[in-house]
Structure 1
Amino acid sequence: MDLVSQLRARVEQEGEGWLTRLLAEIASPPVPPSAAASSLGGRRSSRQSRPPVRLSPGLSASPAVQGGQSRGASSLRQRASSGLQQSQPAAPPVSSTAMGAQASCSSSGFSAVASSGGSRGVPVSGHPVGHRGDCLMSLVRSSVAPATWSSHGKAWAEWLDLVGDRDVAGAVPDRLEVTLDYLLALRGRGFSGSVAARRMSGVAFYFQLLGWSDVTKFFVVRQALKGWSRERVCLDVRRPVSFPLLLKLVVASRQVCSSYFESVLFSTAFALAFFGAMRIGELIPPSRSRPGGLGESDIFLGEGFVRVRIGKSKTDQAGRGTWLLLYAVNGEACPFQLVSSFLLLRPRGPLFLLHEDASPLTQFQFLALFRRCLSFVGLDFREFGTHSFRIGAATEAARAGLSESDVQRVGRWRSACYARYIRPDLLIDF
């Protein structure tokens, strides 16, 4: 069952009032231990009346909490559902009658609670608690790359499936037990240690978001991941695009493309990807309807060089931007000559790499023609990917004798991970 289906099932099972309480808990200050035990433990069976638990200033607890009928796992699911729905672009349907007037931030997936109205008779404060939680989650979501957000949401949903009736919100041993169960489940499904480490990062993200202690940093979890990575090493065997191969691709594009314009467009894209050591998402958008890639104003042509601005990248989610300087080289794959030729042909538009009808060059089109060019020159396209240009840039830089710090600067790497991109043994020269 996907995340949206899970959320819809939760609304049908628990009622829509859980979202009101969820937003209040997110926006409220830390709950004292005594109050947390009352709202999360839920193990006392007495139905005697007692003062309502205060979830946030001006917001009363639900009737179920006031009557001592809430359960720890149920409360956990209500709070953790915020993480589930964030990994999907659309939120589950919420009744406007039950929730009162609503306002929503389109990117967060939350439905905000207005100052009037409520759920099942729960009084709602005039303080805009829901709107605050809504916008805060939108900011949190913007702090990471979309792919990272989706990956974290998937890991969190899988972790939640293993919770059962364990009090993971209030009991650290229970939280650790579920986390270890999740690790063993990943191992049983045949995942690599690197995938397991990424899933643990996703779970840790939501632990911190909820203000829970992060059990993924416990010694037993860290050592298990370390042993896992040593036990099974999955090598990335994508071949790099060498400079001689880049020349072959530029020549092949003239035969493979349907027009001169298209051959210049794709040759320019290949050259920028290689000489700029660019990730495909930095170069062109995922699709026609999704933003991304180089803009028209991100290219500056100088005397014998091209200056390229990368506005936002995987390691620069804040959008500070990075300028690349690409110099002219000998041969038909010269980035300066190709960009100069394309500037004379391209139509006007917000993006730089455009087709003749002003539609954007997409990642799917880039990969499709890259594969056709590889087949044209007699290579197996399955051994290459769009990242092969970035791998090739690092490999050629190292082969040319650049220092480690210079190789890092070429690919804008901030750690020793650049070493994995240097693959002279996989180069194909002509």
Structure 2
Amino acid sequence: MAQQPTAMPVMGWGQPSHLGAPAQMVPIGLGMVGGQPPHPGVGQDPLRTYGNQLFPIQASSQPTLHQNSSPGLAGAITATSTSQETNGPAAHHHFIEQLSNRRETLLKQAKAPSTLATYAQVNQHIQAFEKRSGLSVFPSDAIVTSLFVTYLAEFLAPSTIRTMLSALAYKYQFTNWLDPTKHFLVLETLRGHHRRNGTEDTRLPITLNLLSQLYHMSAQVFCHPYDACLYQTIMLVAFYGLMRISELVLTPAKHALQIFDVMLYSDRATLTLRSYKHSKPHVEAKITLWRQQYLLCPVRQLELYLLKRPQLSTGQLFVTARGFPVTRHQFTCALRQLFTAIQLNDTRYKSHSFRIGGATLAASLGLPSDLIRQLGRWKSNAFMKYIRY
């Protein structure tokens, strides 16, 4: 039986009318250098190669059981040599082999293919560093890991190195070894690289005032009334839903909302994201947009758009007048036209500025950090870099 998607509730902007909300919008250490495991006191569970040599793990051919550690798989294997051979060692080995194969299948499903492909790149950098330094990156300690970061800083951006460290941390999680990627020495090395390169996010947020200007200018810029309504709706949904543009229009990621993912009610609209950046398989995110008692209401705008939208029962939510999916390029071009019309330099305004603007507004209205993180489907406090005051 196919696994049913698990809905991850995500609250939206505003408050239901029965809660007495005001009319205006309210959004609601160091180990040994080299190849020794940092803490050999933990029993290891050596995995076989995971997915096309993604994480090759060197392990002894004979499992060992360390003192003060739980038996786990190592104990189960060792026990077969001394237990009564009711089923025989061969049968035990075959059973464990079957479990290992099933586990490998489950582990492959735990990460998106794109994430696994990105993580696979870390092995190339590890091999290059080890060849030049003679040091072993995995397993290792914070000293070697920080040197690895310093090496990567010669040719990679801080954000890319952060991804490499995430992949390295993933390897440590598999072996149950102490993870040095979160050590102060490693993080400070990466922070220094970030400050030296000045890679601050310079994108500006879309404010409520700017959103209003873009909204009203749409009727003048686009000759076809449908196009004006289309882009007005995308902008409002992106802003109030703190949404990535890839969740609304056609991109290679293929995360765009579908027509059947939208439900309209008298006081709200709910949007179901079947997938999104960093989402897990079979886990959906639901976004609630509450009806607002003033002009820029995302729910009212969705109603207007759906009345004009070509009568297609399936497909992407946002389509052209001829029924073709709206692409990122089309939206970017439309946005550029609007900025030109209001005579504002669009160099620092991107499609992501709507998401940044929504997060900034939520923070300015006093929403707790954990709620903003939930609204934007962030897994960490990474959203803090989006807050612009």
The separation in 2 between residues aligned to 1:25 and 1:367, in whole angstroms, is: 37
Pairwise mapping of residues 15-414 of structure 1 onto structure 2 (< 5 A)?
33=60, 140-145=107-112, 147-164=114-131, 168=136, 172=139, 179=145, 182-189=148-155, 191-192=157-158, 194-206=159-171, 216=181, 220-229=185-194, 234-287=199-252, 291-330=254-293, 332-346=295-309, 347-348=311-312, 349-413=314-378
Distance 1:209 1:402, change over 3 A: closer
The separation in 2 between residues aligned to 1:399 and 1:380, in whole angstroms, is: 25
The amino acid that maps onto 2:200 is: L
The amino acid that maps onto 1:183 is: V
Q: Which has the higher contact order (CA 8 A, sep 6+)?
A: 2
TM-score relative to the length of structure 2:
0.64
Q: CA deviation at 1:252?
A: 2.5
Q: CA deviation at 1:269?
A: 0.9
Q: CA deviation at 1:163?
A: 3.4
The separation in 2 between residues aligned to 1:378 and 1:213, in whole angstroms, is: 55
The separation in 2 between residues aligned to 1:237 and 1:404, in whole angstroms, is: 22
On the 8 A contact 2:270/2:287 being kept in 1, the answer is yes
The amino acid that maps onto 1:351 is: Q
- List runs of 5+ in structure 2 lacking aligned partners: 1-47, 64-93
The aligned residue for residue 108 of structure 1 is: none
* Residues 259-278 of structure 1: CA deviation (Å, up to 9, x unaligned): 22222111111111011111
Q: Equivalent residue of 1:163, what SS? A: helix
* Residues 300-324 of structure 1: CA deviation (Å, up to 9, x unaligned): 1111422222222335323432322
The separation in 2 between residues aligned to 1:191 and 1:213, in whole angstroms, is: 26
On the 8 A contact 1:172/1:213 being kept in 2, the answer is no
* Residues 2-30 of structure 1: CA deviation (Å, up to 9, x unaligned): xxxxxxxxxxxxxxxxxxx968998xxx9
On the 8 A contact 1:240/1:423 being kept in 2, the answer is yes
How many percent of aligned residue pairs carry the same amino acid?
Answer: 25
Distance 1:417 1:222, change over 3 A: closer
The separation in 2 between residues aligned to 1:396 and 1:410, in whole angstroms, is: 12
On the 8 A contact 1:328/1:336 being kept in 2, the answer is yes
The separation in 2 between residues aligned to 1:411 and 1:32, in whole angstroms, is: 41
The amino acid that maps onto 1:235 is: E
The separation in 2 between residues aligned to 1:211 and 1:416, in whole angstroms, is: 25
Instruction: Give me the CA root mean square deviation.
Output: 4.1
Q: CA deviation at 1:203?
A: 3.2
The separation in 2 between residues aligned to 1:324 and 1:24, in whole angstroms, is: 34
Q: Equivalent residue of 1:369, what SS? A: helix
Distance 1:137 1:330, change over 3 A: same
The amino acid that maps onto 2:149 is: L
The separation in 2 between residues aligned to 1:155 and 1:315, in whole angstroms, is: 18
The separation in 1 between residues aligned to 2:286 and 2:149, in whole angstroms, is: 41
Distance 1:178 1:395, change over 3 A: closer
More helix by proportion, 1 or 2? 1
On the 8 A contact 2:129/2:151 being kept in 1, the answer is no
The separation in 1 between residues aligned to 2:149 and 2:189, in whole angstroms, is: 9
* Residues 163-201 of structure 1: CA deviation (Å, up to 9, x unaligned): 3395859x856x988755542322223733x44232222
Q: CA deviation at 1:233?
A: 5.3
Distance 1:364 1:141, change over 3 A: farther
Q: CA deviation at 1:388?
A: 0.8
TM-score relative to the length of structure 1:
0.59
Distance 1:292 1:25, change over 3 A: closer
On the 8 A contact 1:267/1:333 being kept in 2, the answer is no
The amino acid that maps onto 1:342 is: Y
The aligned residue for residue 4 of structure 1 is: none
* Residues 105-137 of structure 1: CA deviation (Å, up to 9, x unaligned): xxxxxxxxxxxxxxxxxxxxx99x99x86x876
On the 8 A contact 2:270/2:288 being kept in 1, the answer is yes
Q: Equivalent residue of 1:359, what SS? A: coil
